Amino acid sequence: MIHQLIFAHPKPGMTEQEFQDYWVDVHAVQYASKIPQIKKYAVDTRIPFGPEPEDPLWSGIAEIWLENDEDQLASLQTPEFLDGARLDEPKWAAFWRTVVLDTDAHVLRAGDHPAPEEGVKLVLLVKRAEGATVEEFRRTSLGEQAELTLQVPGLRRYLQCFMRDGAYAIGEAVLDAAYLLSFDSLAALEEATSSAEYIKAQSNLVTFVQPRYLHQMAVQEHWIVGSENS
C-alpha cells in the first residue's frame, strides 16, 4: 500500500490557524475524502514544539493511503479530484511550497489502540549521507537506528516511511525517508526528546544522514477516513 505524505503551507495572507481549520473542517471533508480510491486519510496539523521558526516550512501534512499505483493514477483522473480537491487547494494552500512524498511504510511499533485524543506525533524528514546508496541507508535505518529509537521512553508508535523506488528511476529523490514517532501527549514527547535514549538515537542518525536536510515537525492527527488501526 502507498503511504503518501503531502506537506503544505498556508497561502499568503492566511494565518496558520485559518489554514489548519479550513484544511480539516472544509477541504478534507468536502473534497479530498470524496476521492473513491483513498483507503485512509488523516490531516496532521503542526503544533508548537521547540524553537519556533518565524515562517515554518509547512503547517500541516496530509497522510493518504492508496492500494497501489493503479489506484493512485486513477484517483488523479476522477472528477472528485479534478473538479473538487484540486480546484479547492489554491483557496488555502501555497502550492509552490507543497512537497509530496510517496512512501512504503515499515511499522516498527504498532502501538496500542485507540490513540489518546491528546496524542502527538514527531515527524522527522531525512536525506541520506553523500556517497551512501539507498540500500545502505535503508539497512542502517531499519537496523541500528530503529533499535536505538525503539528504546526511547514513551514511544507509542513508530513508522519508517521510505521513498518508493520509482522516485529514483530518473534521478534523485528530494528526501529519502520520513520517520513518524507517536506519543501519548505533548508532555510525553517533550520528556522523550530530553531523554538520554533519544539523544543517543539522534547522535546516531546524523552519522548516516545529511544534517542540513534534517527537518522535524510536531503534529496532531485528525482522522478523516478510517483510523490508525483500520
Domain that holds residue 135: 2-225
Is residue 64 one of the residues assigned to a domain? Answer: yes
For residues 186 and 86, what is the distance between their CA atoms, to the nearest angstrom? 33
**How would residue 211 be classed by pLDDT, with cut points 50, 70 and 90?**
very high
Q: pLDDT per residue over 50-66, tens digit each?
A: 888 889 999 999 999 99
- For residue 89, being part of any structural domain is answered with yes
Q: What mean pLDDT value characterizes the chain?
A: 96
pTM, two decimals, is: 0.95
Residue 162 has pLDDT above 80, yes or no: yes
Residue 81 lies in a domain: yes
- pLDDT 10s digits, 99-158: 999 999 999 999 877 778 899 999 999 999 999 999 999 999 999 999 999 999 999 999
121, 219 Cβ separation under 8 angstroms: yes
63 part of a folded domain = yes
- Total tally of structural domains belonging to the chain: 1
* Per-residue confidence (pLDDT) for residue 115, from 0 to 100: 76
Other beta carbons less than 10 A from residue 2's beta carbon: 17
Is residue 213 within 8 Å of 128, Cβ to Cβ?
A: no
Query: CATH code at 117?
Result: 3.30.70.100
120 within domain boundaries: yes
Instruction: Report yes or no on 14 lying in a domain.
Output: yes
Cis peptide upstream of residue 114 (ω within 30 degrees of 0): yes
Q: What distance, in Å, lies between the first and last C-alpha atoms of the chain?
A: 13
Taking Cα atoms as reference points, which of 16, 29, 187, 19 lies closest to residue 118? 187
Q: Is 230 within a domain? A: no
Residue 207 CB: number of other CB atoms within 10 A? 11
3-state secondary structure 41-86: EEEEEECCCCCCCCCCCCCEEEEEEECCHHHHHHHCCCHHHHHHHH
Please check whether residue 86 lies inside any domain of the structure: yes
Alpha-carbon distance 18 to 5, whole Å? 21
